[in-house]
Amino acid sequence: MFAVTAARFDADNPIAGLDLGERPEPAPEQGWTTVTVKATALNHHDVWSLRGVGLSADRLPMVLGCDAAGLDEDGNPVVVYAVVGDAAGHGGDETLDPRRSLLSERYDGTFAERVAVPRRNLLPKPDALSFEEAACLPTAYLTAYRMLFDAAGIEPGATVLVQGAGGGVATALILLGRAAGYRVWVTSRSEAKRERAVKLGADQAFPAGERLPERVDAVMETVGEATWKHSLRALKPGGTVVVSGATSGPAPSADLTRVFFLQLSVVGSTMGSRDQLGRLMRFCEQTGVRPVIDRVLPLDQARDGFAAMASGELFGKIVFSL
């Protein structure tokens, strides 16, 4: 079968490690099954994997990709939940299992004609969502769902700042937050991305690091070092910053004096549970929210999609179709 794999690591030029070509068919172990992939979405995780982050050399070559929508062995439309872990021992939340992994870390991922996954990781695809739309949900949109509706601890009507408009998670935060009744502000270095964010439903957009008209109830942080200082300064006393990524670096100054003096909360958030993915899909059905797709490419043009993500030349999700 045709697949896109990480063949080698290159921290400076990650795309050099991509290999597009034939791979063996998946052989599901007990309790697993095979999905015929119809659409699969690109994430920053895939680019980081090519840099050797979260993926060890002894597991190469590894089929990349976390997200997919397709057909199960009986021909039923399904969405693949990307986290492989034990939910039963962790309150129904696979992400709390310290031995968890994502597809494409220990097990081959979804950038292939077929992928093997645990049977429990399949959820029925809503008829209202296309395969391309559904494939966007399990990582970026599920991450945004948990950040807003679980980790942040805020109510509709609250003001939320989203750092770094344009990426998949940031775009999802705008759409989900707007639909749920939050006042959503965003930042970006790009004027074009700020304008696009407002058209999507953000109430206001500001240049990165600019002083805000007032402090916010919560900050959604995926950028890391480049925006951390601004995130803390943007919060009201008692506010919360929810962290689900650090694309610009993981080690900013903690600014602990500000944290304890203003009684700020710093909450880590990773992906979401299988049950939350089900609720996210129902939320999309009920509200009409649909993922923003930057472009759809055939899987054999995956190199172009990786190049766009690595350069930041995108707004929304890049989807590969099969």
2-136+291-321 architecture in CATH?
A: Alpha-Beta Complex (3.90)
Query: Would you kindly state where each structural domain of the chain is located, as residue ranges?
Result: 2-136+291-321, 141-268
The pLDDT assigned to 245 comes to: 86
The pLDDT assigned to 202 comes to: 97
Q: Which residues of the chain have pLDDT under 70?
A: none
- Encoding tokens for residue 85? 């872990």
The pLDDT assigned to 251 comes to: 86
Decide if 154 contacts 172 (C-beta within 8 A).
Answer: no
The pLDDT assigned to 313 comes to: 82
Same fold, 2-136+291-321 and 141-268: no
CATH class of 141-268: alpha beta
